Amino acid sequence: MERAVKEDWRALLEAEKALDTGVYTKHDLLIVRGQGAKVWDAEGNEYIDCVGGYGVANLGHSNPEVVEAVKRQAETLMAMPQTLPTPMRGEFYRALTAILPPELNRVFPVNSGTEANEAALKFARAHTGRKKFVAAMRGFSGRTMGSLSVTWEPSTGSLFLPLVEPVEFVPYNDVEAKAGRGRGDGGGDPGAVQGEGGVRPATLEFLQAAREITQEKGALLILDEIQTGMGRTGKRFAFEHYGIVPDILTLAKALGGGVPLGAAVMREEVARSMPKGGHGTPSGGTPWPWPPGWPPSATWSARGFGKGPRSLGPGSWRSSRPSLPPRSGRCGAWASWWAWSSRKRPPPTSPSWRRSTASSPSRRGPR
């Protein structure tokens, strides 16, 4: 393969471009190798990788510990569905739950962020028996139909409608608006933690209120830490800044250190609500992405992950370039939403918060 790249890299670049669906705009660059923060193209040019796999490569490219663990695992066992337990899966569950609050003690393993959110949506419906979700304006949750439904302003406009309904979007960091307090009969509409729309941390007041309101109304608080998890904001998980624990936490990206890995981690009672076979994935939960000892909790603290953002303060979550407009940042964003009842309570009536099934031309897409 290496020889083929050397001899024929232009043809390979063209093949990728020509045979791809075209969903992505491709750069004129064939990246052949990565190490830490650097990558090299086929002509040997060296680059500092500021893309970082959009949050996947937080441990750096080809992190030697990850490479070693993956190699070991690949030689041992690479595919095993969840009906057949493996030591690696048990070890992964143990390592992950050990760095989470004790309430979050059940893991549903997946391969990506959007799958983690799909799982969360299904578990939430199974647990609450309710249909409605409340999501944050400007939040981003993924590109599959469920995740897209709780994403503000999909770039595709009305193309994929109808999405999962009902979903209500509430203003971010607006405590007044948040829970429908004083808005009548439990028309709860908690504001949510900002999604991809610009790296805006939630205020303490806002997220704590969201936690209280969801508890009060018997809804679940689902926190998407696909971007912010694993040390991105100075703590292992962003919710630790807020003194709250969600009912379901979704993780992916940096969780796998470069291999596809995601998880919906939840309270036991939420997990128990899902009937046998109610959800599943043959490749999610194979031992492949979970080499023994991964994610090694020791690594996170020993390597000082999170020290940078901690020392720089919350402003650093926004962007290393504060002059950039809010929408330009991707790092550190997170979103959350709530399973909510549409059966038992009338939804709030504020039209600006309601998404109709007709296309909404003002909604712009995930960037």
Ligand X SMILES: Cc1ncc(COP(=O)(O)O)c(C=O)c1O
Binding site for ligand X (CB under 6 A): 54, 112-114, 117, 140-142, 195-196, 224, 226-227, 252, 333-335
Question: What is the nearest approach in angstroms of ligand X to the Cβ of residue 52?
Answer: 12
Residue spans of beta strands (DSSP E) within the chain: 31-35, 38-41, 46-48, 104-110, 132-136, 167-170, 220-224, 248-251, 262-267, 335-340
- Could you tell me the strand order of the sheet in which 46-48 lies? 31-35, 38-41, 46-48
Question: What is the nearest approach in angstroms of ligand X to the Cβ of residue 113?
Answer: 2
For ligand X, which is the closer residue by CB, 146 or 306? 146
Reference 271, options 129, 127, 132; nearest CA is 127
DSSP 232-252: TTSSSSGGGGTT---SEEEE-
Burial status of residue 280 (CB atoms within 10 A of its CB: 0-12, 13-18, 19 or more): middle
SS3 108: strand
Question: What is the nearest approach in angstroms of ligand X to the Cβ of residue 16?
Answer: 19
SS3 177: helix
CA angle 285, 287, 289 (to 5 degrees): 85
Which residue has tokens 């390979």?
Answer: 12
Question: What is the nearest approach in angstroms of ligand X to the Cβ of residue 71?
Answer: 24
Question: What is the nearest approach in angstroms of ligand X to the Cβ of residue 117?
Answer: 6
Question: What is the nearest approach in angstroms of ligand X to the Cβ of residue 84?
Answer: 26
DSSP 286-337: -STT--TT-S-HHHHHHTTTTHHHHHH-THHHH-S-TTS-GGG--TT--EEE
For ligand X, which is the closer residue by CB, 187 or 197? 197
Q: Cα(15)–Cα(162) distance, rounded to whole angstroms?
A: 35
In the bound state, the residue with its beta carbon closest to ligand X is: 113
Question: What is the nearest approach in angstroms of ligand X to the Cβ of residue 333?
Answer: 6
Contact 288, 72 (CB under 8 A): no
Phi, psi (5° rounding) for residue 168? -120, 135
Question: What is the nearest approach in angstroms of ligand X to the Cβ of residue 141?
Answer: 5
For ligand X, which is the closer residue by CB, 13 or 237? 237
For ligand X, which is the closer residue by CB, 13 or 193? 193
